[in-house]
Amino acid sequence: MAIRKLLLPLTGTAAGEAALSTALIAARIWNAHVTALHVRVDSRDVAPLAGEGLSGAMIEEMMTATERESTDRSHAVRALFERFVASQGVQVTDASRSMSIPTASFASIIGREEDLVAQQARLADLTVVPHPEAGEDVSSSDALHAVLFDSGCPVLVAPHIPPTSLGTRICVAWNGSPQSAAAVRAALPWLQRAAAVRVLTSDEYVRRGPLAADLITYLHLHGISPDLATFRSVDRLVGVGLLAAAKDFDADLLAMGAYSQSRLRQMILGGVTRTVLEKSKLPLLMCR
């Protein structure tokens, strides 16, 4: 299946700019449309947070300040979008106008980001999300987790620094889980056009399910001829070992399942998904 529509939740931060660059690289590969979506805070959501002891006038003042800040941020994000697509020579047009060139559009809506992004992602082929900010807990990335858990859409996590290439050398992390199987299916269009593909597996990573050799057979049926490599954990961290193996392959995309253990367990104890999100410097294609 060709990739025709990409959704990009855009915040305007440095990470958001890198995600915009990554999304446009993908759009050029597939002649796809990028919908940049900025979700504005609803000032009415401030009132329940104000607590007791505040007068109506004080709450009204807080709502007004929130609205003003949200409007300023929306204008700044739109300016970033327009400046960036102009510099890249990407045509801005409505998504309904089918074209054989990469295009983009901008939308700003009011509400809760995690709810609206997940809803909009349900009719996207791929959602590109900014990498969690440096020093930020990855569990707090609302847009990322909303799409993973509540959209049915694969996620492309952009790196902090925009890649120079995307999807030419791909690693597939395989552990036999339903999540890794979903990632493989989402990655098939990329795998079919890649110059080289490697399946990565580890005894420390495996779950009950098909073996890596079974995946190789499956990919052959789709015209893909990957090689197979086994990796080991580094410093007792499977995720670090996985990233090291992808780096050894000079991969510019890593496809993997996300949160085959519960998200809560990974937040508390750590896990492969969390480690990879925190430490990866390459684009990540994730499914759950």
What CATH number does the domain containing 269 carry? 3.40.50.620
Query: pLDDT value at position 71?
Result: 80
Lowest mean pLDDT among 3-17, 41-55, 142-156: 41-55
Query: pLDDT value at position 135?
Result: 47
Q: Does position 136 have pLDDT exceeding 80, yes or no?
A: no
State whether 179 and 57 are in the same domain: no
Number of structural domains, the chain? 2
Query: Span 247-266, mean pLDDT?
Result: 81
Assess if residue 151 is contained within a domain: yes
Structural domain that includes position 195: 169-287
**Higher-pLDDT residue of 124, 65:** 124
How does 142-181 read in b/e, with b if 16+ C-beta sit within 10 Å?
bbbbbbbebbebbbbbbbeebbeebbbbbbbbbbbbebbb
Q: What is the pLDDT of residues 177-216, one digit of tens each?
A: 999 999 999 999 999 999 999 999 999 888 889 999 999 9
State whether 193 and 272 are in the same domain: yes
Sheet of 253-257: strand order equals 91-92, 103-110, 33-40, 5-9, 126-129, 155-157, 284-287, 253-257, 169-173, 196-201, 227-230
Query: pLDDT value at position 137?
Result: 42
Query: pLDDT value at position 269?
Result: 39
**Higher-pLDDT residue of 73, 147:** 147
Assess if residue 202 is contained within a domain: yes
Lowest mean pLDDT among 48-57, 141-150, 232-241: 48-57
Query: pLDDT value at position 262?
Result: 56
3-state secondary structure of 89: coil
Q: List 201's β-bridge partners, or say none.
A: 230
**Band of residue 51 on the pLDDT scale cut at 50, 70, 90:** low
Lowest mean pLDDT among 96-100, 126-130, 214-218, 222-226: 96-100
State whether 119 and 182 are in the same domain: no
pTM, rounded to two decimals: 0.88
State whether 14 and 126 are in the same domain: yes
Q: What is the pLDDT of residues 148-187, one digit of tens each?
A: 989 999 999 999 999 999 999 999 999 999 999 999 999 9
State whether 127 and 219 are in the same domain: no
